[in-house]
Amino acid sequence: MTTGKSSKVPTSRLARFGSLASLAGKVAGGMLAEGARQLAQGQKPVLQQMLLTPANAQRVATQLSQMRGAAMKLGQLLSMDAGDLLPPALTSILAQLRANGSPMLPAQLATLLQQQWGKDWQRNFSAFTFSPIAAASIGQVHQAYHDNGRPLAVKIQYPGISTSIDSDVDNVATLLRVSGLLPQGIDLQPLLAEAKQQLHKEADYLQEAAYLQSYRQHLADDRDFLLPEFYPELSTQQILTMSFVEGVAIDELLQQPQELRDRVMSLLFVLLFKEIFHFRLVQTDPNFANYRFNLQTNQLVLLDFGACRDYSETVSDGYRLLFRALLQQQPALQLQALQQIGYFSAEIKPEQQQAVMSLVSLAAEPLQQDSFDFASSDLPSRMRDAGLQLSMKLQYWHTPPVDALFLHRKMAGLFLLAKTLKAKVPIRDLLRPFVEVQP
């Protein structure tokens, strides 16, 4: 369900820039207030502490949530991809953006529906619920009923989103830099360029529909998964109409038996391996809201295919080689695989290369156990510490290949979900059929 109040989505570039300029002013005002508070307590004000107050971070999150679109999506990407490098005050607030958005005003919604479907659009439905059942960064979802009575989920894109992507991404990045909310030295350019490209794809709902159709074909004979059906006659580039699929939120399964939670996570990891090695098409968004579970049919529901990414045979084979090397603990083969994926293309010192190799081996810890207990693992914190040492002590800031960046984001999301569900998964046995050489 949505959590924010309805608000008008700013559509013009000037209005969107004005929102960010207003935010910068509020952050500065908050900084002065915090400085005054510290002086009143007899403390010497510290710039970083003045900027990174919970109130300032809340202002950033609230403004991005109201702007939606690329502004909000970039906040989501930063909370997921750079979360270990951002200050805790900003990270915790940005994390709220992953699932929550403010729905658009009803009048704005009505205008948009007329523009997309025509004045008599309601004749296609026996019922249409104007209050959204979900609101995120690019659009909001409404429940409706086809004129034949079938329940539908209608995903409606916020107005002006597709034309504001590039400027939004640049403006938010600038805001975070000049406000001091982003540490100096982090090179965001590769992430920003990919964020723009990915967002343009996500804003094309007909492209998302094509990815949905691809997944339906890939999983047509797999009864473990349940996917919505696409309604092309009720869809446009900014409206995606699908069948409504029943299911409970994936994190609610924590109340279910251990056996069910383990099965769900096993299905998700096997699906990931199929995506990498068979489909060469990966849904890279790890948001929990993209999964539900139908307790009546015992099927895992897959939703939202906007963040899909195609992978080349070279990269797919590179990961097959990498996983094989990690299973067999062969460092020379691991190095060959990383080079094939695209690592170490820039100049790198031997000690830096070895640190990257060690970091990858550490990430493969779940492959070294018969059944990995995610609930008791502190692997994410150890990965963070190793990554910070690599960047701070060894001065290695090289951004991973873009394909790897998105894939690792998906893997990290699955790890977080498995930890949330306290699942135990035999990942090694699930992986082996995909990567081992057949006799």
pLDDT score at 164: 78
pLDDT score at 60: 60
Mean pLDDT by 10 residues, the chain (439 residues): 49 46 43 40 42 56 55 53 46 51 82 94 95 82 95 92 78 64 61 79 93 98 97 96 96 95 98 97 89 96 93 96 94 94 79 84 91 91 71 54 84 90 96 79
Asked if 9 contacts 108 with a C-beta cutoff of 8 angstroms, the reply is yes
DSSP assignment letter at 123: G
Residue 171 to residue 17: CA distance in whole angstroms: 7
- CB-CB neighbours of 198 under 10 Å: 22
pLDDT score at 20: 45
pLDDT score at 160: 80
Give the residue from 257, 225, 216 showing the smallest Cα distance to 421: 257
pLDDT score at 135: 76
* Number of helices (H), then strands (E), in the chain: 16, 13
- CB-CB neighbours of 292 under 10 Å: 21
DSSP assignment letter at 232: G
Terminal Cα distance for the chain, rounded: 51
Give yes or no: 262 in active site. Answer: no
pLDDT score at 370: 94
Asked if 219 contacts 278 with a C-beta cutoff of 8 angstroms, the reply is no
173-190 burial: b if 16+ Cβ within 10 Å, else e:
bebbeebbbbeeeeebee
Q: Which of 285, 373, 378, 429 is catalytic?
A: 285
Asked if 417 contacts 262 with a C-beta cutoff of 8 angstroms, the reply is no
Distance of CA 136 to the CA centre of its chain: 11
**Amino acid identity of 158?**
Y
Residue 168 to residue 161: CA distance in whole angstroms: 9
- Residue whose tokens read 């004749």: 123
pLDDT score at 289: 86
Is the full-model pTM beyond 0.85? no
DSSP assignment letter at 230: B
Residue 114 to residue 348: CA distance in whole angstroms: 56
